[in-house]
Amino acid sequence: MGRKGAETRDRLLDATQELVEAGGYFGAGLNQVIAVSGAPRGSLYFHFPEGKDQLVGESVRRAGHAVGAAMEDLAASGASAAEFAEGVLRRLGDRLEESGWRKGCPVATVALEMAATSDALQRACHEVYTSWQAALRARLDDREDADDLAVTVLAMIEGALLLAKAHRSREPLDRVARQIATLLR
């Protein structure tokens, strides 16, 4: 794929992610994706021949990789497990607040709406959550309960983002950050 094709594909994925985060799977219709991306209709079907689920699945994976890269940056800083989890929560919280409370977790909405009915989207969500859980677990290697703690911390982060979005407030994020710190010490 040439540079222009890659740019068009990226625009389609960017538009999809924006629309999914703002309005969920059903708020990201293909006509809206085309309008927001400015891409020709034929490009959508060229790059995503399997349709909307392929487009949304790749968008979820792409957003998941971006969060994963932020996790890698935090891990490289030598942060403790508690500092690492708090840093992830802070970065996601900053993203949520800066978006006017529209951009919570880039995976949660799709998981809630579609994981029960679309195998392709369930797999995409599973892959992303598994990678995030592994990143958290890697910070807890010295603990017997590392697997359980990684799942617990991820669930706390996801829940805090949902509550912060619903309340349009950082308060749930701050409270959960304090509890994560207590749990991981």
pLDDT, tens digit (0-9, with 9 covering 90-100), for 9-50? 999 999 999 999 888 999 999 999 999 999 999 999 999 999
176 vs 21, higher pLDDT: 176
116 φ/ψ angles, rounded to the nearest 5 degrees: -80, -20
pLDDT value for 1: 64
CATH annotation of 56-184: 1.10.357.10
Q: What is the mean pLDDT of residues 172-176?
A: 96
pLDDT value for 141: 76
Amino acid residing at 61: R
Q: What is the mean pLDDT of residues 141-160?
A: 94
Give CA separation, 145 vs 51, 69, 151, 184, in Å.
41, 25, 10, 11
20 vs 56: CA distance, rounded Å: 8
85 vs 90: CA distance, rounded Å: 9
Q: What is the mean pLDDT of residues 37-65?
A: 95
Whether this model's pTM surpasses 0.85: yes
pLDDT digits (tens, 9 = 90+) for 116-134: 999 999 999 999 999 999 9
pLDDT value for 156: 97
